[in-house]
Amino acid sequence: MLRFIIRRLIQMVGVVIVLSALVFAWLKVLPGGTVGALLGERATPERRAAMEKALGLDQPIYVQYWEFVKRAVRGEFGASTSVQPGTDAMDVFLTRFPATIELAVCALVIAVLLGVPLGYLAARRRASWFDNVSIVSSLVGIAVPVFFLAFMLQYVFAVKLHWLPVSGRQDPDVNGTRVTGFFILDGLLTREFDASWNAIKHLILPSIALATIPFAVVFRITRASVLEVLDEDYVRTAESKGLTNRVIRGRHVLRNALLPVVTTIGLQTGGLLVGAVLTERVFSWGGLGDALALAFTRRDYAVLQVCILMATVTFVVVNLLVDIAYAVIDPRVRTR
């Protein structure tokens, strides 16, 4: 098991190196180049040359890449130009990442806690009304555009009914003490439970909006996977031993059926951590998705670099966790 994890960690380093090269190459082929981006299209050749020298762009490409890697390892990407002008790009990332994680984890928990049991039940009662209703709702979950759902939730539950806050992560007047940047956790750590509760209320609507697609996917995969496993010979063997339903369900059906579900959850997590742009915009969440969208439209290359690099690292780490989870569930993976 340990060897398995070490092997995966080494592979991970390789992936990160390749990805850093890709991000670097992408910076090089930007329309107008880095200098054009910084000075504008109409800069004089002299000013361009001076800027190139100042940035080290007159150096050979491998020297430039090496400099890029050194700075990236130290987390030096320069100051943000437009997302939070003047702030260090790494700091922009670090203050926003907890917001995104909080939202993504909450959405994921909702998706898994609903998707797996419902998927299992739907499979056990194939072709019943329960199965049919669940399939249709999961289809609706996939089909309804996230921003539309987000707006509807916001309008109905926040604007009209006033049950929940409209946007943001915490009311401005709460002013909780910051420890980790995770607002709920901070409240618990500093025993400011009101702050935690306030953050939870802010989290509910965006999490539901964000959870719909992962829920639908997890539900579908679980259902299909359970249906397949129910037909397996070893389930019949378990029945022939007269085991209780509980043991057959948990040990013999679910454990096997969860393998593809784990893969799906991993893929969805990666997506959630990086791509909650729409939901974050609607609820002014102030997370990474927000920053990414702004950085793209306003050409904030420092922030873009940090976000893209860190997003790839996040993806790779999540993938590693999925692989480990896989190895824990399936002994056949460990020996491979």
What is the nearest approach in angstroms of another protein to the Cβ of residue 258?
Answer: 9
- C-alpha distances (whole Å) from 73 to each of 70, 90, 229, 304 are 5, 11, 46, 16
Task: Between 92 and 229, name the residue whose CB sits nearer to another protein.
Answer: 229
Between 41 and 233, CB nearer to another protein: 233
Q: Measured from the CB atom, is 74 or 241 closer to another protein?
A: 241
CB 24 within 8 A of CB 68: yes
Based on CB atoms, which residue is closest to another protein, 191 or 336? 336
Q: Cβ of residue 284: shortest distance to another protein, in angstroms?
A: 45
Q: How far is the CB of 242 from another protein (least distance, A)?
A: 3
Are 211 and 228 contacting, i.e. CB atoms less than 8 angstroms apart?
no
Asked if 104 and 269 count as a contact pair (C-beta separation under 8 A), the reply is: yes
For another protein, the closer CB: 28 or 126: 126
- Tell me how far CA of residue 70 lies from CA of 63, 76, 127, 328, in angstroms: 11, 9, 59, 36
To the nearest whole angstrom, how small is the minimum distance from the Cβ of residue 22 to another protein? 37
**Around 132, how many Cα atoms within 13 Å sit in the side-chain half-sphere?**
3
Q: What burial letters (b/e) apply to 119-151, b meaning 16+ CB within 10 Å?
A: bbbbbbeeeeeebeebeeebeebeeeebeebbb
How near is the Cβ of 54 to another protein at its closest, in Å?
A: 59
**Contact footprint for another protein (CB under 8 A):** 232-234, 236-244, 247, 251-252, 255-256, 329-332, 335
Q: What is the nearest approach in angstroms of another protein to the Cβ of residue 110?
A: 27
Q: What share of the chain is helix, strand, coil (3-state, %, to 5)?
A: 75, 0, 20
Question: Residue 189 has which token pair?
Answer: 């750590």
Q: Which is nearer to another protein, 37 or 329 (CB)?
A: 329
**158: its two tokens:** 């926040």
